[in-house]
Amino acid sequence: MAGTIKKLQVVSYAVSDWQKSKKFYAETVGLPVAAFMNDEIGWMEFGEKDDVHLAISLWRGPGPLPRGAGGAVAIFAVDDTVKAIQELRKKGVKCDNPVTIPGMVVYANFYDPDGNRLQVAGTAPKE
Convert the pLDDT of each residue in 85-126 to its tens digit: 999 999 999 999 999 998 889 999 998 876 778 899 998 887
**Segments forming the whole domain that contains residue 89:** 7-123
What is the domain count for the chain? 1
In-domain check, residue 1:
no
Convert the pLDDT of each residue in 61-74 to its tens digit: 888 877 655 577 88
In-domain check, residue 95:
yes
Q: What is the mean pLDDT of the chain?
A: 86
CATH at 11:
3.10.180.10
68 Cβ contact partners less than 8 Å away, ≥ 6 residues apart: none
Cis omega (within 30 of 0) on the bond before 32?
A: no
| pTM as predicted | 0.67
**Closest by Cα among 89, 93, 83 to 122:** 83
Q: Is the pLDDT at 1 greater than 70, yes or no? A: no
In this prediction, residues 18-39 reach a mean pLDDT of 88
In-domain check, residue 2:
no
* pLDDT above 90: percentage of residues in the chain: 35
In-domain check, residue 40:
yes
**Closest by Cα among 109, 107, 108, 100 to 127:** 100
